[in-house]
Amino acid sequence: MSASRSLTDNLDPNAKSAFARRTLPGIACLLAAALLAAAVAVIQIASTIDSDALVRERFLTGKAFEAHQRSMGRHVADNAFWGDAYANLSSRVNLNWAYEQENLGPSLYQDFGYDAVFVIDPDGKTTYSVIRGELLQVDARQWLENGLKTLLTDARIALEDDETSAGILTAEGHPAMATAAVMTTGGSDIEEQPGPASVLVFVDLMDPKWLLDLGEAYAVEGLRADRDNEQIEGAQVKLNRLDGSPVRFIWSVSQPGDYLLWITLPVLGAVTLGLSLLAWLLLCQALKTVRIMDASYRRLVISRTALAAREERFRDVAEAASDWIWETDQHVHLTYLSARFEEITGHVPATWIGRPLIDLLVTDHAALQEWLSSKHNVPLRCSYHAADGCVRYCRLSAREIHDGGQLLGYRGTASDVTEETKAQARVQYLSQHDALTGLPNRNRLRDYLESKLNSLTTASRLTVLYIDLDRFKPVNDTLGHGAGDEVLIGVANRLKQCIRGDDLVARLGGDEFVMVMSRLQHNEDIEALCARVVGAISEPFSYEDKQIHIGASVGIALAPTDASQASELLRCADIALYQAKADGRGTWCFYGVEMDKRLHERRNQEDELRQAIAEGQFEAYYQPRYLSEDMRINGAETLLRWHHPSRGLLLPEQFIPLAEETGLIVPLGEWVLREACFEAANWTDDLVVSVNLSPLQLRIGDLYLVIVSALGDSGLPANRLELEITETALLQENESTLDVLNRLKSLGLRLAMDDFGTGYSSLSNLRNYPFDMIKIDGSFIAGMSLSVENHSIVKALIDLGRGLRMRVTAEGVETLEQLNLLLADGCSELQGFHMSHPLPAKELSALLSKARLADEANP
């Protein structure tokens, strides 16, 4: 008893108090350390949030100026490259047309807010000026300070490319954004005057109100020009005037991190106090728990002893259970039967002792004697009648009994295989029949058709009706599969009533049936049968006091007219069935040669795709992917485009499904992979290229060797290659997929689950498969700004990825609102039209160079 007692039971009260005094300070220290770590973490997080907000506001401010400048450039181009403006303002000024009729007059200020509009002739003289919607005689060179000459010169240079010039000047003591364009006829039939044309200039004063409005439009608070050299660290954007002098814009920095600290730190203090109290209570209960556990242990020992006794009894019973044993003399008369004989057969052993073994078994005497005299390597399978009259099956094994070389008899066992035999017979039946309806299945149909076609004469013909049920899927969807099964059984019974003699009706699977008729010689008879079939199936079916209404469509093929091979005949009937469905369902259609045109069109599309692969008609586009921390490009996804000779540029959804169906996705995917690796090798060292993998590529060919070859030939490090596998592809694959992905992962490359959230995959997929990243499908991103529920789904997916220590990329970001929501939710990376469309390789290289120069200019 003392051996099983807990150590704490032997402690006196003073010892237990000392234990408590030693433990409590330790717990207090742990809690203090946890509080300190949590506080440091919260402060760090708040600092990071403030830093991210500042980076985002600086990015948005730059985008605001850039977007407004592009808008002014497009507007001045629309008016300068206008034939009527050229005729009325370039060589001569028609004030009535320009100002009175408001073609280039007050409306530019009232509708678009342009503070000044100037027309300047080639000599630099201002021929037309409108200031804040009023016609005034103002010299643009005096109104606009420093840089106007540069703006006009740039405008004449830009004319060669049908472009405009733009820049920052000074007007009325404020920075001013100006755009200029040389006036042209715009391709109209207006006669072009000799000599240089005048230049049209639009000006927007960047006064305090204008800057505040621009900042509000881009969620930047208090945007203003820095006139007092305010010291706001980081919250500034510098722009250069055309004369080279800088102008600095600042704004009021948002500090969400400080708000987080005010909310979080008091909560941490309260939590720590509560945990301290809880620790004290737990310590008080600890000694009581030890005594309870000791009592539980003693009960467990007793339970284990009882369990061991039960297991021993079970082994004894299992060892006693065996097949029945028999022995005979040299004349094969039974001399011994074990007790199990009566349990299995129902016969009393004493009634069979002394009787020949052959009397018990239903088998041939000669066969039994031959088997006994053999080496008995193969058991003998035979049957017998049990005491209840039922036929049972057994498998006999036997050995000869010898004494000094003399045969004394035979000894063996009999294994009851009744259930096994019935199961084999059931399997044989099911191999030729449908399990649900009892109709012949596809295998039986094929054998029957081949037999009928082989015996077909020139004077006879064979009719095949391919039947598909209409409106059957809603039955399963609304009433359940039980109702669907009842309807299929009813359909099978009604179809059997429509055949005669040795005709056949079979179920191919699902809601497809086939009838084979050999006695219909005229089309009128066939159509009458089809009408009877359609009418019989159209009659309502009853299920649980409900009326179920379905229909049927029938495709008809004739042998030998349409085909003389079983598979070809079924194919023709199937084509006719699709035509019947296209004609409106509930009808029938005879096969015609013209129906094969659809197949020929598909073959042509496949041939075009093969030719496109052979001739290199494909081009790889790249869509940049941005880090959420600073909106820098950290990689790009490879997307395929087909330059079709007649249909133009085709997107993946227009040819990838065909490539998947035909298997051409394997060579096409290999080409894309190699192209992406060679292109990415020219990028900076830290950029990653993503390539989509087809499920077929995971199953066919040696993907591992293909990737090794692409990486080796291009020189691209493996850690800069990312392979994307769709979630739905994983659901379709088997255990070998995990082996393939683990082998690829061993190369050091990255793996991403694409279209996450669309395939209903379980969390075990994310844990078991070696993914580094999940990509949230764009359909979720599109809906997140429309409702709180959709936004919650996206946030949950982001939290799930972060919880599994995976990076999370949001695809399909198309609006600023979506971008801000994803940044606030902590999404790792972003991709979509809002940042960049998919670009050809040259345009992507230019974008990367521009981004690199910007980083160098703003370290």
Say if residue 106 is preceded by a cis peptide, omega within 30 of 0: no
- Angle at the Cα of 418 from the Cα atoms of 415 and 423, rounded to 5 degrees: 125
Q: Which of 504-508, 607-611, 613-617, 658-662 has the lowest mean pLDDT?
A: 658-662
pLDDT digits (tens, 9 = 90+) for 317-340: 433 445 888 999 988 899 998 888
pLDDT at 19 over 70: no
pLDDT digits (tens, 9 = 90+) for 382-397: 888 888 888 888 888 8
Assign 2 a pLDDT band (cuts: 50, 70, 90).
very low
Residue 610: which residues within 8 A CB-CB, separation 6 or more? 664
Question: Residue with structure tokens 């040389």?
Answer: 182
Tell me which residue of 854, 850, 792 sits closest to 821, measured CA to CA: 792
pLDDT at 341 over 60: yes
What is the side-by-side strand order in the sheet with 246-250?
224-225, 246-250, 236-240
pLDDT at 403: 83
- Angle at the Cα of 424 from the Cα atoms of 422 and 428, rounded to 5 degrees: 115
pLDDT at 358 over 50: yes
Mean pLDDT of the chain: 85
Please compute the mean of the pLDDT values over residues 236-254 and round it to a whole number: 82
Amino acid at 575: I
pLDDT at 303: 79
> Is the sign of the CA dihedral 298, 300, 302, 308 positive or negative?
negative
User: Hey, what domains does the chain have and what are their CATH numbers?
Assistant: 324-422 (3.30.450.20), 433-591 (3.30.70.270), 618-639+669-857 (3.20.20.450)
| Six token digits for residue 188 | 């109209």
| Six token digits for residue 763 | 């969390």
pLDDT at 731: 58
Assign 5 a pLDDT band (cuts: 50, 70, 90).
very low
Tell me which residue of 151, 328, 126, 303 sits closest to 241, measured CA to CA: 151
pLDDT at 706: 93
Assign 371 a pLDDT band (cuts: 50, 70, 90).
confident
Question: Residue with structure tokens 């992507």?
Answer: 844
Are the beta carbons of 561 and 456 closer than 8 angstroms? no
Please compute the mean of the pLDDT values over residues 749-757 and round it to a whole number: 87
Amino acid at 632: R
Three-state DSSP state, 717:
coil
Range from 78-92, 219-233, 330-344, 521-535 that averages highest in pLDDT = 521-535
d(C-alpha 724, C-alpha 775), whole Å: 9
pLDDT at 211: 84
Amino acid at 681: A
Please compute the mean of the pLDDT values over residues 820-848 and round it to a whole number: 93
Question: Residue with structure tokens 């509009």?
Answer: 117
Are the beta carbons of 847 and 825 closer than 8 angstroms? no
Tell me which residue of 663, 660, 623, 624 sits closest to 641, measured CA to CA: 623
Alpha carbon 471 to chain centroid distance?
30
pLDDT digits (tens, 9 = 90+) for 267-289: 877 887 887 788 778 767 766 77
Please compute the mean of the pLDDT values over residues 731-747 and round it to a whole number: 78
Phi, psi angle pair for 611, to nearest 5°: -65, -40
pLDDT digits (tens, 9 = 90+) for 757-815: 765 555 666 777 889 999 998 888 988 888 888 899 899 999 988 888 899 999 999 99
Q: What is the DSSP string of 512-556?
A: EEEEEESS--SHHHHHHHHHHHHHHHHS-EEETTEEE--EEEEEE
Amino acid at 134: E
Angle separating helix axes 208-217 and 13-80, nearest 10 degrees: 120
pLDDT at 321: 45
- Beta strands, E only, 97-182: 116-120, 126-131, 134-135, 144-145, 165-171, 174-182
pLDDT digits (tens, 9 = 90+) for 82-110: 988 888 988 888 889 989 888 888 988 88
Please return the burial class of 706, using the count of CB atoms within 10 Å of its CB with bins 0-12, 13-18 and 19+.
Answer: middle
Q: Which residues pair with residue 181 across a beta bridge?
A: 200
Tell me which residue of 279, 408, 414, 298 sits closest to 345, measured CA to CA: 414
pLDDT at 8: 42
Please compute the mean of the pLDDT values over residues 467-484 and round it to a whole number: 87
Three-state DSSP state, 378:
coil
How does DSSP classify residue 90? I
pLDDT at 375: 67
pLDDT at 558: 93
| Six token digits for residue 534 | 């359609």
pLDDT at 641: 95
Please compute the mean of the pLDDT values over residues 730-741 and round it to a whole number: 70
Better-predicted residue by pLDDT, 305 or 150:
150
d(C-alpha 675, C-alpha 670), whole Å: 9
pLDDT at 571 over 80: yes
pLDDT digits (tens, 9 = 90+) for 110-162: 888 899 999 999 988 999 999 998 998 888 888 988 788 888 888 889 888 88
d(C-alpha 775, C-alpha 811), whole Å: 7
d(C-alpha 488, C-alpha 473), whole Å: 12
β-pairing, 462-470 vs 551-559, is antiparallel
pLDDT at 493 over 90: yes
- The proportion of the chain whose per-residue pLDDT surpasses 70, expressed as a percent, equals 91
pLDDT at 1: 42
Assign 11 a pLDDT band (cuts: 50, 70, 90).
very low
Residue 80: half-sphere exposure toward Cβ, Cα within 13 Å: 29
pLDDT at 640 over 90: yes
- Angle at the Cα of 675 from the Cα atoms of 673 and 678, rounded to 5 degrees: 110
Tell me which residue of 70, 327, 95 sits closest to 177, measured CA to CA: 70
Better-predicted residue by pLDDT, 580 or 701:
580
d(C-alpha 528, C-alpha 517), whole Å: 13
Three-state DSSP state, 382:
strand
- Note if the pTM is more than 0.75: no
| Six token digits for residue 741 | 């992905």
Q: Is residue 263 within a helix (H) or strand (E), and if so which, with residue range? A: helix 256-320
Tell me which residue of 479, 491, 534, 488 sits closest to 510, measured CA to CA: 488
Q: Which of 58-67, 683-692, 702-711 has the lowest mean pLDDT?
A: 58-67
What is the side-by-side strand order in the sheet with 144-145?
134-135, 126-131, 116-120, 199-205, 174-182, 165-171, 144-145
Phi, psi angle pair for 840, to nearest 5°: -60, 165
Please compute the mean of the pLDDT values over residues 684-694 and round it to a whole number: 91
| Six token digits for residue 208 | 């305090």
Q: Which residues pair with residue 202 across a beta bridge?
A: 117, 179
Using alpha carbons, list the distances in angstroms from residue 38 to 12, 26, 32, 272: 39, 18, 10, 10
